[in-house]
Structure 1
Amino acid sequence: MKTTDNKPFNIDKVENQLPINGKLPVSKVFPHDIPTVDTMIEDFPDDKRNEEKKTQDTALEPVYFRTFRSRPLLNKQDELELAKQIDESSQNIRGVLAQAIQAVSSLGDGPELHEALHSLTEIRELSGLSAPALNEAKERLSGLSNALPGRGLKSRMIGKRLQELQRKLAENRAQLEQAKEELVQRNLRLVVDIAKRFTGRGLAFLDLIQEGNIGLMRAAERFQYRKGFKFSTYATWWIRQGILRAVADQSRTIRVPVHTTEAWQRMIKVSHCLAQKLGREPSHEEIALALATNPERVHQTMQAFLEPISFDQPNGDGETFLEDCLPDDNAPAPDANVQEEQMRSQLHRLLGFLTPREEQVIRLRFGIDNGKSRTLEEVGKLLNVTRERIRQIEVLALKKLREPTTRAQLAAMC
């Protein structure tokens, strides 16, 4: 890829042009063995390629590339002129909003006027004037023109002033949009060159390009040429952030935060380096030592990127599913059921040494049948006797069960 002044364009050197005092965090881990965009575009087959093997995305890629293939990259002078036009139009729009705020402020302090003034002030202070912000500014000015109080001379004068400001806003917005569109269109190759580095991460190539284009448009809104660096340097960070965020949000069934994704990528790179050096897979402790962090964080980050498996996934011969092979943690263990059944059988034999009345009192008193124990008063009401009589029956029954002869007979039965 070459610029219009016949100088080679190397995307790997773009990041080094950022000044030392720049505020943008520019990554320095781009690979250096990536072919140029022109080579990549030439590799795409023509319309005669095999229709049976291409998917919808791959069919659209050459069409998309042809939309900007014939448009050369901006040289330094053209880029500077577009940046100046964007800056000048933005300043003019902010001036229009300031005049509108000043004009409306003289009308009083009603709730509607206060809300409109607050909104216009916020839009004026934005670092980049996006389309939604400009649409809101247009609606606010139009609403103020239609909601002027009274029909006095002052209101009519302010109304005419607001209409004039709306016309100026529309003119400057058209110039701003035209310059931003030209700046974006002439840098679409940069998006393709960056997007191809993120293929194979769960998103289609055209989806990566789309997210990168959104980042490119945001860069065009916020670019300040007075900082002294090229637009491609500034836009690279925005494009990469847009693509990385899309990969983190859309490529996985379970969303993982962007900062966790970046930490995982660093761990994977360190893991590969350690594997080559050690001749084996490194442990979490070794990765944590290389990254100056704790092993627990490495373990948690690695766990976050395990691939989820569906419960409906066929298992083995296909007749069973994964859900059928998972244990039920709420179900009792088989040996516990056997022990419980044995205890019930022994308890039934033990209660056989009591009279029916005594057995009934013991069962109700200690909740042997349903696990719900009752007080002496509750058992007395059920059996229609006094509380004291139930206590006497209980004492007599427990005394029988404690006798050595009862235990001996029970042991002989077991």
Structure 2
Amino acid sequence: SNLRLVIKVALRYAGRGLPFMDLVEEGNLGLIRAVEGFDSERGVRFSTYAMFWIRQRIEKALFEQRQPVRMPVNKARRVNLLARTEQNLLQRLGREPTLEEVALELGEEAKEIRALKAYVRQQSSFDQPSSPSSDRHLNEVVEDNSAVDPVEFLHRLAIESLLEQWLQSLDDRTSEVMRRRFGLEGTERETLESVGRAMHLNREAVRQIQIRGLLKLRKLLLREGFSASALLD
């Protein structure tokens, strides 16, 4: 079943900085995104498509624990476009696109795409240890032939310059929930249960506040010309 697929993927990332149930929760969000975006007429197997989104969501959550990265808005827009293009090619081709295929789709030279990816890796500290208790690096943990490119993980970080504006538009309670849940402004990322205990709310109340806050962020991103789907789904 699909739930077994999520658990199977989550087990690969156990012990790397997030509680196992958090990994499953993130994987389920990726599965939901896959269900919403899957198009059987494109000839891609659902399991292949779902695996992409489950891994992406879990690996992005792991990256969110690291030092926030500030990226210039013009560079962020290029990263955003690159991420969307790679996602579209994945669904069209049924596999991870090559560098040359991405460059052709964007109408750029392969060396330009390679340089952008190198910039992303540098900014995301992709060679940091995968967890404080491990000397393994993320580029060792994630297999080259199956991993989502770091561009995917940085989609949230790429628009970080807009987060302050978004947080200021929220009421105090919603702002606190979002800061705690996503580890914003140097705080540690917390689970729904942890936030609920600290704010005297149940898990579902925290989840609903989070959803409302993310809807406001979606509107802000769309207004600024960013794709909200890869960030919020």
Same fold (TM over 0.5): no
Higher Cα Rg, which structure: 1
TM-score, normalised on structure 1? 0.18
TM-score, normalised on structure 2? 0.31
